[in-house]
Each structure stands twice: as structure tokens, then as C-alpha cells.
Structure 1
Amino acid sequence: MLLYNVTIIIDEAVADKWLKWMQDVHIPNVMATGKFISNRLLRVLDSPNEGITYCAQYVAEHMADYLDYQENFAPALQAEINEHFENQFVAFRTLMEYIA
């Protein structure tokens, strides 16, 4: 199993709006792709960065699911977040494999 982690540092001025949008729109759209079996959204409490840091995490059972998501769904979903919150966040993505 794989954990796809998206860390987002969002400007405090739009953090509440972003959080609601993530919960109501973005995460449901990611899950509707059928490529992930679960998700969670976490807030980083000890971030050294300005703004508020969150981690959106999605679990995929197989690498093929993740790769299909990246090829066929991620570009449009990432464009959507850029459209709504342009220049108000930074994001970086990490793919991890469950060991135990």
C-alpha cells in the first residue's frame, strides 16, 4: 500500500476558505477518481513556516492506481486549486510505501 502525501502551506488570510474548499470540494473530487481507498487531512502544529501547514493524505492499494491518478486526474485537480488559490499557497508531494 502507498501513502500519497500533499503538504500545503496556505496563507493565513485564506486558510479558512481553503480548508472548507478542501473538505467540501477537492478531497471529495480526489476520492471520486476511485484511485484511493481512504484519506485524511491533518494540520501541522509545529511548522516553522509562515502561514498554516496542512497535510492531505491519500492511501492507494497499488502503484498502478497512483500512476493512473497522476496521469489522468492530478493535472486537472491541481489546476483547480491553483485557479482558486493562486499565489496563496505552496505545495509539495511525497509518495511513501507502507512497511509495517
Structure 2
Amino acid sequence: MYIYNVTINIDNSVHNEWLVWIESHIPEVLATGKFISAKMTQVLVDEEMGGITYSIQYTAKTREDLDEYYQHHADKLRNDGFIKFADKMVAFRTELKVINEFYPSEVSN
């Protein structure tokens, strides 16, 4: 599995508008069929530049799914946000490959 992580810092002046927009943007990304889930988290740090930072993690089953997303969908979906929020948003992207997942053992009595 692969995680496509988008970290975004959004200026306070457009924060509420951006929250409304991102709630519709994430389903659009999932509708491409290239991801099996998405998780949105707030990054709990005080940024020197101000604003509020979020991490959105999209999970893809295969590298091919991620590559197809880049090839057929990424540019349009990325531009939607940058056009709307222009200089009020900074984003960077990282890719993660899941090596293993661990869960606590169930305690039996």
C-alpha cells in the first residue's frame, strides 16, 4: 500500500472557506477510483508563518494506482485549490510506502 500525503498550510483569513472546499475536494479525489481511503488530520504545531496546517493522507493499493492518479487526475485537482486560494495556501506532497502495520494484541482473560 502507498500513502499520498498532502500537507497544507492555510491562511487564517480563508480558513473557514477552505474547510468547506476541502470537504468536497477529498471526495473528488476519491472518486478517481485510485484511492481506497482518505484521512484528514490537523498538524499540531505553531507555524512561524502563521495559519493552520493539515495533512491529508490518501491510501492507494498499488504503485500503479498512484501513478495513474498523477497521470490522469492530479494536475486538474491540484489546480482547483491553487486557483481558488492562490497566495493563501502552501502545499507540499510526499509519498510513503507502507512496509508493515502493527496493532495491539487482544488481551484474553
The residue number in structure 1 matching 2:17 is: 17
State the secondary structure of the residue aligned to 2:56: strand
Misfit runs of 4+, over 6 Å: none
The residue number in structure 1 matching 2:40 is: 41
Structure 2 runs not aligned, ≥5 long: 101-109
The residue number in structure 2 matching 1:86 is: 86
Aligned residue type for 2:63: M
The residue number in structure 2 matching 1:98 is: 98
Aligned residues: 99
Rounded Cα–Cα distance in structure 2 between residues aligned with 1:68 and 1:30: 12
RMSD over aligned CA atoms reads 0.9
State the secondary structure of the residue aligned to 2:92: strand
Structure 1 runs not aligned, ≥5 long: none
Matched-pair identity in %:
43
Rounded Cα–Cα distance in structure 1 between residues aligned with 2:67 and 2:60: 10
Rounded Cα–Cα distance in structure 1 between residues aligned with 2:39 and 2:79: 21
Aligned residue type for 2:47: P
Distance 1:82 1:32, change over 3 A: same
Rounded Cα–Cα distance in structure 2 between residues aligned with 1:5 and 1:67: 14
- Give the structure-2-normalised TM-score: 0.87
Q: Work out which of the two has the higher radius of gyration on C-alpha atoms and give 1 or 2.
A: 2
Q: CA deviation at 1:19?
A: 1.0
Q: CA deviation at 1:99?
A: 1.3
State the secondary structure of the residue aligned to 1:86: helix
Rounded Cα–Cα distance in structure 2 between residues aligned with 1:16 and 1:40: 19
Rounded Cα–Cα distance in structure 2 between residues aligned with 1:19 and 1:71: 27
